[in-house]
Every structure is written in structure tokens, then in C-alpha cells.
Amino acid sequence: MAGALGMWQTLGLVLVWQASAAHSGDIIKKVVHTPWWPAGSEKTAESVGIISHGLVYMTAMMEVNETLQKTALQETWDVRDIALAAGANLSDLVDCFVNAPRGHADAVKAALMSAFPAEVQASPPAFTVVEMPGEYQFVYNSIMCVANIPDGGSKRRTVRKNGLYGVSARGLTFYEGAEAPGTISGAYEETRNIVNRMLRSSVLVDCTAYLASIQDAQAVRKAIVEVTGMKGFIQPSLTIVQATGLANRSLRLRCTAAEDDSRLRSVDTTDGKVVLTDSFAFASAQLDRNSTGVNALESLGKLFKYANVTLNDAISCSFFVKDQQKMLDLFGGFYEIFNKENPPPPTRGEYEAITECAECQVAAKCIAARPMEMEVHSEALRAVLV
Ligand SMILES: *[C@@H]1O[C@H](CO)[C@@H](O)[C@H](O)[C@H]1NC(C)=O
Ligand SMILES: *[C@@H]1O[C@H](CO)[C@@H](O)[C@H](O)[C@H]1NC(C)=O
Ligand SMILES: *[C@@H]1O[C@H](CO)[C@@H](O)[C@H](O)[C@H]1NC(C)=O
Ligand SMILES: *[C@@H]1O[C@H](CO)[C@@H](O)[C@H](O)[C@H]1NC(C)=O
Ligand SMILES: *[C@@H]1O[C@H](CO)[C@@H](O)[C@H](O)[C@H]1NC(C)=O
């Protein structure tokens, strides 16, 4: 790097380099800190927030207060603190995922929404609430968000199309967990309906399906493969888990899409699938029979290798564990793999859910940051040389 910079300097390019390096869009992975999660916290725990390619990924926040409303308010303050640390604020949120106790999704959603400032309510992030237990039994819910960092003129934009709601920023569209309209028609038909509507405006790169019954997993896979295949699009990375309550629907499907498919790549291996956008690598969940999740994380590392990224590049992970009582085992495995072997660790969310593998204890899915597009730099270099 020093050598390259020296060369650029002699070419008179150093100013361009420095000016653009000030923008968050040029940061690949940078841990942020809050007053309550100071520098160094990430040495023993997860990162509270990570700036990557103009977005800030946040860890799942949870609070325990006297009432749901106070809990929600405190949680939005936590999210705000992380956003502020990254140069964003609550108005810049593009996506949030919330878990809630069975039968309480609507109440939790209402509490969090009303805790947001009015301007956030007027243009909310994609906001998916799924009923499933979280990290601890005594904690009601948690909230995990992503925000756009509004520097360098980057804008966030809401998308309302085909009965879907999403928020776009930095070339990605974060769709709110979607359901099929009308009466229950089964997982296969409902998945086809949702994916068809999403594919009308973008290409899906990463999806998580929350099912009423995990028995429907194969039907969901089949529907996604068929509908994306029919359009000639790549298939998204896919994680399938069972939720505890879905209010009369077969599934809720939460996806990230890319606006332009021209540079998308899907790396399909016997170990799983990674979908690549310019900025990120989205891996399908890896399963583990061991409650530490170490094997799942190691196979994620292997999968990432095909995409030329490593576990050091992980920015956000979600863990679905079969037995909440064994959450501490997972934290041990996370510490081993990330804090000790591949620091700094990603942000994370943990949930209790059954996965496609009945004997498995953990399903782990992570997003990794890709390095900067080298062509862009060589273009710049060429421009100067000419
Ligand atoms: C939530 O509880 C914490 C700890 O008791 C307290 O500091 C905080 O002010 C409470 N938040 C709200 C919104 O009441
Ligand atoms: C967030 O920052 C924008 C300017 O970037 C400002 O207009 C807006 O009021 C802020 N919102 C909140 C909730 O602080
Ligand atoms: C689910 O279906 C039952 C029976 O048809 C109905 O009473 C109930 O209101 C429905 N719940 C929701 C959330 O739509
Ligand atoms: C799970 O992994 C841990 C750490 O690698 C190991 O000590 C333990 O024996 C494993 N448990 C099972 C059931 O394989
Ligand atoms: C990874 O790097 C190798 C060697 O440079 C290259 O051939 C391959 O296409 C790269 N793979 C991806 C997915 O970028």
C-alpha cells in the first residue's frame, strides 16, 4: 500500500485519493464505537457497528425496561447512537430486523415505530418483525438495523411497488419481509407470488424465509429456483428457518436485492452458495451439529474463499440456534473464530429457531465486505496517465 501510494503521489493523484478516502463509500470495514461500547469492546464481544461501502451494519440491540414502550424507546436510542457514531442518523435507516415473542409482533412493531422520530415514521426503514425468541429468555425483543451514511451525495430512496415496501441505498434494495396477499395457499404458491413481485424491479441476492412450518422448506426452495430461473436471473443466497408465529401465512420472505444485475455473480459450490455484488458477498447459511457453531463458521470461511474474501471481512452475521439454553456455547465459538482468529468481529443477531437440519444446533449466515473494485482505480490511474 505504501509503495502504491508513493507511486500515486508522484503522479499527482494523492489529492484525489485523499478526497475520496474521506467518504464512507471507500471504507471496506471499519468498526465504530459508542459511549457505551467504547474502543476495545470488540476485542472480547462483537462489533457494535461496522461501516462498509457506505452503509453501517449494526449489532442487534436489546433493552429491558419497565414497559414495552420504554424498552422500545431505549432501543431506538441505542440504534441512534450507533448510527451517529458512523456519521448517519435514524432518518438514514434502510433496514431493520426485529424478533418478538409469539403473538406480539404487532405490539412490538407499533412500540418501536412510535418510538422513532416523526421524520423516520414518515419514511421508515424496511421493517421486518418476526416472532421468534432471541438471545435470552428474559429479553422481549431485539432490533438489528442497517443505515445509509449520507456522505458523498449518496441518497436513500423508498420503493413501493407491487405491494412491497423496500428502501434502496448504495445499489441495494432492502425489502421488508413480504407475505402473499389473500387467503392461505401454501408455501410454494406464496413464495412464487412474493418472488415474482420482487423480481419485477430487482434481482434478489440474499433471502431469509421465515416459515410457519419448516416442513415447507423444500417447497420454498423449489419456488425460488423456478421463478428466478424463468427470468434467467441468478438465485439468491437462501436461509430457511421456522418462526414461532406467522399470523395465518405460510411464510414471510425478507430479501436484499441489487438494482442492476450486470455485475452480479453467483458462486455455487458443493459447500454452498455465495452471491457477489460489487461491494458485498452474501453467503447461504451453514449448518452445525455442534452448539459452538465453530464448524459452521469454518465452512463459511471456506465458502468465502471461493469469493476471495475471508472471515476477517465479515461485517454482519445472524445465528439461528435450536436451543436458547446453549447460546453461551455459540458465543464461545464466535469468540474463538472471530475475536481470536479473524478480528475484528462482525455485528450479530441471535435467535432461537429450527432450521432445515433437524439434528443441527446452529445455522450461521454472514455478509462479508469485498475489496474495492480495482478497475475503478486503474481507470483513474489511466485518466491521469493520459
Ligand atoms: C431503560 O432502563 C435503563 C436502565 O434502568 C435506564 O437507564 C433508561 O433510562 C431506561 N430507558 C427508558 C426509555 O426509560
Ligand atoms: C438526520 O440528518 C438529516 C441531515 O442529514 C436531518 O435533516 C435530519 O433531521 C436528521 N434526523 C434525525 C432524526 O436526527
Ligand atoms: C387468523 O385466522 C383466524 C381464523 O380464520 C382469524 O380469527 C384471525 O383473526 C386471523 N389472524 C390474523 C392475524 O389475521
Ligand atoms: C463441540 O465443539 C467443542 C469445541 O470444538 C468440543 O469441545 C465439543 O466436544 C463438541 N461437541 C460435540 C457434541 O461434538
Ligand atoms: C478470485 O481470484 C482469482 C485469482 O485472482 C480469480 O481468478 C477469480 O475469478 C476470483 N473469484 C471471484 C469470485 O472474484
262 in contact with ligand 3, CB cutoff 6 A: no
Question: 18 and 103 in one domain?
Answer: yes
Looking up cell 435514524 gives 90
Predicted confidence (pLDDT) per residue in 141-151, tens digit? 999 999 999 98
Ligand 1: lining residues by beta carbon, under 6 Å: 63, 65, 70, 73-74
Q: Pocket of ligand 4, candidates 287, 292, 331: which has the most ligand atoms within 8 Å of its Cβ, to mutate? A: 292
**275 within ligand 5 shell (Cβ under 6 A):** no
Same domain (yes/no): 3, 63 = yes
Domain boundary among 208, 232, 259: 259
18 and 108 belong to one structural domain: yes
Of all residues in the chain, the percent with pLDDT exceeding 90 is: 81
Q: Is residue 345 part of a domain?
A: yes
Residue pLDDT, tens place only, 236-293: 999 999 999 887 889 999 999 997 666 899 999 988 999 999 999 999 999 999 999 9
- Residues 316-343: pLDDT tens digits? 999 999 999 999 999 999 999 999 999 9
Q: How far apart are CA 194 and CA 203, in angstroms?
A: 13
- Is 163 contained in some domain? no
Coil vs helix vs strand at 368: strand
Same domain as 183, residue 111? no
Residues 380, 277, single domain; the answer is: yes
154 lies in some domain: no
The whole-model pTM stands at: 0.90
Residue 118 contacts by C-beta under 8 Å, 6 or more apart in sequence?
none
Ligand 4 atom nearest residue 290's Cα: 1
* Domain with 47 in it: 1-149
Distance (Å) of CA 169 to CA 5, 93, 154, 173, 382: 30, 10, 7, 7, 29
**C-beta of 308 in contact with ligand 5 (< 6 A):** yes
Residue 91: which pLDDT band, with cuts at 50, 70 and 90? very high
Q: Residue 232: left (phi > 0), alpha (psi -120 to 50), or beta?
A: left
Distance CA 146, CA 54 (A): 10
Centroid of ligand 1 to alpha carbon of 91 (angstroms): 23
Domain count, the chain: 3
C-alpha cell of 258? Answer: 441489487
Domain identity same for 124 and 59:
yes
Q: Are 253 and 195 in contact (CB under 8 A)?
A: yes
One domain, residues 97 and 50: yes
In angstroms, the first-to-last Cα distance of the chain is 23
Is 348 a domain residue? yes
Domain edge (last residue) among 199, 231, 259: 259
Q: Which ligand is nearest to the CA of 247?
A: 3
> Above 60 in pLDDT, residue 358?
yes
Which of 206, 231, 259 marks a domain boundary? 259
Q: Is the pLDDT of residue 19 over 50?
A: no
- Ligand 5 mean position, distance from CA 281 (Å): 13
Q: What angle do CA 262, 266, 272 make, to 5 degrees?
A: 170
Widest CA span in the chain: 67
